[in-house]
Amino acid sequence: MRFLHKVEMTPSRSLAIQKNKKMKKHNFSAGPCILPQDVLQKASEAILNFNDDNLSLIEISHRSKAFVDVMEKARSLALELLGLEGKGYKALFLQGGASMEFLMVAYNLLNKKAAYLNTGTWSDKAIKEAKAFGEMVEVGSSKDKGYNYIPKSYSIPKDADYFHCTSNNTVAGTQIKEFPETDIPLICDMSSDIFSRQLNFEKFDLIYAGAQKNMGPAGATLVIIKEDILGKVERHIPSMLNYQIHIDKDSMFNTPSVFAVYVSMLTLQWLKDLGGIPFIEEVNNKKATLLYAEIDRNPLFKGIVAKEDRSTMNATFTLVDEKYKATFDKMWQEAGINGLNGHRSVGGYRASMYNALPLYSVQTLVDVMQELERKK
């Protein structure tokens, strides 16, 4: 079975590993995060000589055929992987991160009233932006318990212009497993779990995601939008914030983030070549199952969020007794693990297991946790 970053242990490869003590670290960073090694290699080559034209990718015109082809391929791959080709959706690569989309969604879609589900830091920020454009109904919130669960029993007002939710809470480590059925447009911030699991993406009218989790480097934001939801607000929308203008200009209204779009295209192609979302979902489930099983088994650790709402992408946990913290921190750092500290607002530890993180990196973390148990 094909696997991410799988290392074939040939005699020559084994010898090379023994000689090279500076192996790539096990990168659990929450974002920007780990990218496939093949993608990094191709991207580095393009910086020096793109398409064998003796020009760098970052010094050619964004209007050149070479880059227009990159943009069109990236947009096409995004729709293809989500199963949305030929179904009335457009893909855009914009700038400003998901934080800009908090503003743009409300600017383009909120005419009178919008409904929001508050499940974490980022949905809370989106709500603050929406309040500037009209009535905002917070249908449910887990803020009362530090966002350690996903609200389940809530109703969505039928007269709202749209319903907004955040699929994965990067900070606290929760994830929506089932999305509501609604007759109004469904908008979703999928920044930290897009392309990681199979969903019926046709039920969403707009999806947005910062590239720096599962797609590429920081600097690009993917927006998937069903074009027929636009043009219904009464306000004037500034050109740079107008989705319709970006669609009409084929995502080239202004100079795009050339490098970020290119790396995103490479990553999407890498995912397609692996077998797409069905394949990567299976791998992601294995990684999450391995780590959560150890968190639950090991008496030195405990999870932070409700078990039924645990994120496949971001696992949060703490030590039961802080007296082991110095020892544990030293052990995982010496094992070549990076980015394990929890968000400052939560504390503890956070293991971000995005698409490009291999299973053996999770096994390395589990081995360290078990070794700490033996040492206690």
Of the residues 90, 161, 189, 287, which is catalytic? 189
Residues in Cβ contact with 164 at an 8 Å cutoff, skipping those fewer than 6 apart: 105, 114, 115, 116, 117, 123, 126, 130, 187, 188, 189
In whole angstroms, how far apart are CA 329 and each of 92, 200, 299, 332, 334? 41, 40, 17, 6, 9
Its sign, for the CA torsion 241, 107, 157, 88, is: negative
Residue 213 is a catalytic residue? yes
Query: What tokens does 360 get?
Result: 């053996």
Among 122, 161, 205, 270, which one carries the catalytic annotation?
Answer: 122
Distance, CA of 301 to CA of 29 (rounded, Å): 20
- d(C-alpha 225, C-alpha 89), whole Å: 5
CA distance 66 to 71: 9
User: What are 284's two structure tokens?
Assistant: 């992601």
Cβ neighbours around 165 below 10 Å, total: 25
Could you say which of 90, 161, 205, 213 is catalytic? 213
Residue 124 appears among annotated catalytic residues: no
If phi > 0 it is left, if psi is from -120 to 50 it is alpha, else beta; for residue 88 that is left
> Hey, what are 257's tokens?
């983030």
d(CA 320, CA 132): 43
CB atoms within 10 A of CB 345: 10
Instruction: Give, for 258, the enclosing helix (H) or strand (E).
Output: helix 258-274
Query: What is the Cα–Cα distance from 214 to 357, expressed in whole angstroms?
Result: 10
Give yes or no: 65 in active site: no
Residue 256: cis peptide before it, omega within 30 degrees of 0: no
Sequence-ordered list of residues with C-beta below 8 angstroms from that of 107, at least 6 positions apart, any chain: 133, 233, 235, 237, 238, 241, 242
Instruction: Name the residues annotated as catalytic.
Output: 122, 189, 213
